[in-house]
Copies of this chain bind each other. A is one copy, B any other.
Amino acid sequence: MRKYDPVLLKDSLSSTALWVEQELDQLFMYQRSISRLPSFAGYSLGSGGKRIRPFLVRAACCAVGGDPDRALHAACAVEMIHTYSLIHDDLPAMDNDDLRRGKPTLHMTCGEDQALLAGDLLLVEAFGVLLRTPLRPGRVARMVRHLASAAGPGYLVGGQYMDMYHPVEADMDWIRLMIKGKTAALIRVSLELGALAGGAGDELISEVSREGDRLGYLFQLTDDILDIRGSTSEMGKKVSKDSDLGKCNPVTKLGLDTAIKEGEELSSDIAEVFSGLSGNWENISTLALYLPDRRK
């Protein structure tokens, strides 16, 4: 079993969080200056979270030798897409959740209408901010294309739909396809956008893409494991939800022990592959090693 330094990872996550949150604050100060909207989108965006996706964007950009500041807008964009999807997902018409990141969900604080609009706003603004990436137009357009694909019907929206309309007898192929859309697409595109911002070539982008998908699956797998093991206070959201709702996920399907074993093996394997890619991918390998150990 490979070792990793949890303190270094924690520092790297914290400094990325600071980096992206400063820019998000700027964006929302600007947003308030051009509209009469209250800062409801800022409430969700500002309510913490580990900023894993911005971390992936930044780390991938640095891994290929790029200047991380070129990836800053992409880091904001993926966090905004992630936050929009949480806000809409938590709405009563969808998952009807009242707790998120240890705080009341947005519609609990400002009503469903404003939460709906806040999600719409974040979705549009994600594209708006990504377009401000200081790179040549061809590269920026390509980044926007990657984001639109990941957020669209083939991935994020499609995965959310599959999650809502589970067949009772969903098999592991079905579950993997759902996770590929619902969770992995944003993890994957974070790495792709970072690598694109850093100037990576097509072959490397394809490799990163493939591993990003597997990292996304690992992320969801460890989330589903925590959903069984964790407590509401540790997780900052409802736990054991899937099994309460009769939904399938890798843990309900494979059993806890097998799922834990799959997670550990996948984690080492992903870390190994990233270490072998062109560039310095240590930060991403470390994250892959950490995922099975995370407690929230």
Contact = CB atoms under 8 A, between A and B. Distances in A.
A218 interface: no
Interface string A134-170: 0011101100110011011110111011101000000
Contacts of A91: 93, 116
Chain A interface: which size bin? 35 or more
Contacts of A160: 117
Interface in A224-240: none
A181 B94 CA distance: 28
Interface string A24-41: 000000010011110000
Interface in A102-128: 111-114, 116-117, 119-121, 123-125, 127-128
**A interface majority secondary structure:** helix
A88 interface: yes
A37 B138 contact: no
A164 B158 CA distance: 30
A237 to B, nearest CB: 19
A31 to B, nearest CB: 5
A86 interface: no
A294 B253 CA distance: 59
Contacts of A181: 35
A131 interface: yes
Nearest to A95: B113
Interface of A: 31, 34-37, 88, 91, 93-94, 111-114, 116-117, 119-121, 123-125, 127-128, 131, 136-138, 140-141, 144-145, 148-149, 151-154, 156-158, 160-162, 164, 177, 181
12 contacts: A31-B153, A35-B157, A36-B158, A36-B177, A88-B117, A88-B120, A91-B116, A94-B116, A117-B161, A124-B148, A127-B144, A128-B152
Given A116-B116, A120-B120, A120-B157, 8 more contacts: A31-B154, A34-B153, A34-B158, A35-B153, A94-B113, A114-B161, A117-B160, A123-B124
